Amino acid sequence: MTFGAPVLSCGVKLRPDSYHLWCARGCMHATSREWGKGAADMKKSLEIVTTMLSRADAPGGLWMEWSQTGQNLGALLLLAGDESGYRKLCRSLVSTQVPEIDGMYCCVSRACTMAPAAVDDNSAPLRMADFAVKQGPRIAWYVSALGVAQHRAGQQQKGEAADRPRIGTHRERGRRSHGACVCVAARRVLRNCAFGVRDRRDRRTSVV
């Protein structure tokens, strides 16, 4: 375990209600490939965020934290071999009543398409990814999420692509990359090892 873990462990003891600290320690465990410990801490972080969102004065930006933490937790559960826990998480994510925020929808869609049959109805992550792309049609992260969601939904190259320019290309991108979904999410977990700091570069990357 890296040198920062003891400091983070002291932090969660002093401030057990800080989702930032639980998330950071979970990421720290992930850097050491301690997937089970990382998943446990990320789950705690998600529980705290979910509780905060139930309050009337919850800040709107907290929804992004909720979705990103859920995506990270999904990756860690799969890496830890907990497929049952992963599918339970996905069912919870797609059944939660959430506001329409493109970045959040993208994260939830990605979380629920990292493995086959993650949810009973693949139309839910597909709908979320589709919404995200409509809001940001040139954001690569959204486009990739849509391609994977279409693949999971079993859509063929023709069909809906007819009335959506570039979606055929998006679907092909998703078909090529769906096998690496867990690896992509895992890299996201590993690079998010900071106190609630999120990498926004993917939102600014355009589809070429």
| Environment class of 54 (CB within 10 Å of its CB; exposed 0-12, middle 13-18, buried 19+) | exposed
Q: What is the pLDDT of residue 10?
A: 84
What is the full DSSP assignment across 88-152? HHHHHHHHS-----HHHHHHHHHHTTSSTTSSS-THHHHHHHHHHHHH-TTBHHHHHHHHHHHHH
The residue behind tokens 């999904």 is: 74
pLDDT digit string (tens) for the chain, length 208 residues: 444 767 777 877 878 788 888 888 898 889 889 999 999 999 999 999 999 998 888 887 899 999 999 999 999 999 999 999 999 999 999 999 889 999 999 999 999 999 998 999 999 999 999 999 999 999 998 999 999 999 898 885 532 443 354 444 455 454 444 444 555 555 555 555 433 333 333 333 333 3
For residue 179 the two structure tokens come to 């096998």
Q: What is the pLDDT of residue 183?
A: 54
Give the separation between CA 88 and CA 34, rounded to whole angstroms: 21
Give the separation between CA 72 and CA 25, rounded to whole angstroms: 13
Q: Is there a contact between 109 and 144 (Cβ–Cβ < 8 Å)?
A: no
